Amino acid sequence: MVTPSLGTRAEENEIINISTQQNNTIVDWRPVYNIINYCNTVIDFAPSVLQKDQTFTQEMLNGYIAEAKTLRALMYFYLVRSFGDVPLKLKSTSSDEDIVQLAKSTQQEVLAQIVKDLAEAEHNAVLTYGDIRDKGRITRYTVNTIQADVALWMENYPAAVTACDKVISSRRLGLIAPSSAWYNILYRTGNSNESIFEIQFNQQKLNPFYAMHAIPSSRRYIAANRVMDQIFTTELNLLSGTPDIRSAGASVRAEDNAIWKYIGTNNEDMIAQADSYTHWFFYRYADILLMKAEALAQMDGRGAEALELVNQVRNRALAPEATNNNPDVTNKEELSLYILQERARNLHLKANAGMMYYVM
């Protein structure tokens, strides 16, 4: 779904050509371990604040540690998917004496720690902060969503369904209905009812993606031709007479294949660099529906349920019949491929801020 452009860097071409060199900064895991160390520092030292600050409560402490464990689990989840076996560091490095060489742990050991961290965090994570912090900080529903993602990766399909159902049954989230303001609500402004976890940029902290995608001479990535030709198609929804709302003017600008979601202020106009504070999303409610569908598709006799969830997402997007493959709900491979194609349309061109990790 992504192809190089004029500004693509040499180290990015190494990734594309599967010939990564040791000094390639994209595969440098130190920034991720820095985040892990921040989390470990909170986990190790936050309890001592109870004795020093009378305004700091046990409930507040539990919430902060739940956030730290969730973020640590998420970082290790990126590491284990990207590198396989990695060092598992669960204690903070707070002095020179703490600097030690660590052997790699196996993928299974790292995944077991991720599951453990998330289980402990779920118990203490807050349900709501009462404002937009629900979107930019960890809530219990963020924990459940990551649990679902991890369970899918581990092929533990019942656990994935259970985690998704916790989010769905909360009735705190939902799909944003199609409208002329859909793009602005979901992407540009952010903090919508569909968002589960996002990085909240603003005019004081601009996002880094504008320069990567906006200026033609330095644009590092564009959407591949197949995004409009095959992923979305140019067909119209027969009922609405409109194209898929996720296609041109949302994920991509059709005339030059610019990745639009980080550089548009609406479906037609580009934002100025000084206003480039479009949020970046880890998870949205649509992701929950499609993760549950993906898990159900692998479970005997539950294919029809999976297809119904996919149709919820498609109906919201006004998807045309041209992208409806009418999969056999009893054929796991056929149904899974259909769900994968819908994930490509709905979670299009999602770049990870730290690793340039694209979800296809």
**Spatial separation of the C-alpha atoms in residues 305 and 51, rounded to whole Å:** 52
Rg of the chain over all Cα atoms, to the nearest angstrom: 21
Per-residue model confidence (pLDDT) at position 348: 62
Residues 102 and 296: their CA atoms lie apart, in Å, by 39
The whole-number average pLDDT for the span 21-31 is 92
The tens digit of pLDDT for each residue in 170-226 reads 999 999 999 988 988 998 899 999 999 999 999 999 998 888 899 888 899 999 999
Q: What is the DSSP letter of 235?
A: P
What residues does each domain of the chain span? 164-360
* Closest to 360 (Cα-Cα) out of 58, 352, 144: 352
The answer to whether residues 42 and 10 touch, using CB atoms and an 8 Å cutoff, is: no
- Residue 276, burial from CB neighbour count under 10 angstroms (0-12, 13-18, 19+): buried
Does the pLDDT value for residue 350 go beyond 60? no
Domain 164-360, CATH class in plain words: mainly alpha
Q: Distances in Å between the alpha carbon of 98 and those of 28, 56, 86, 101, 163?
A: 21, 28, 18, 10, 36
Residues of the chain with pLDDT > 90, as a percent, come to 84
Distance CA 12, CA 25 (A): 9
Q: Report pLDDT digits (tens) over 70-104.
A: 999 999 999 999 999 999 999 999 888 888 889 99
Say what the pLDDT of residue 31 is. Answer: 95
Please report which confidence band the pLDDT of residue 242 belongs to, taking 50, 70 and 90 as the band edges: very high
Instruction: Give the count of beta carbons closer than 10 Å to the beta carbon of residue 205.
Output: 10
What is the DSSP annotation of 293-315? HHHHHTSTT-HHHHHHHHHHHHH
**In angstroms, how far is the first alpha carbon of the chain from the final one?**
7
Cross-strand pairs, 350:
359
Residue 222, pLDDT score: 94
Mean pLDDT calculated for residue range 138-148: 98
* Side-chain half-sphere CA neighbours of 88 within 13 A: 16
Residue 349 banded pLDDT, cuts 50, 70, 90: very low
- On the 0-12 / 13-18 / 19+ scale of CB atoms within 10 A, 45 is exposed
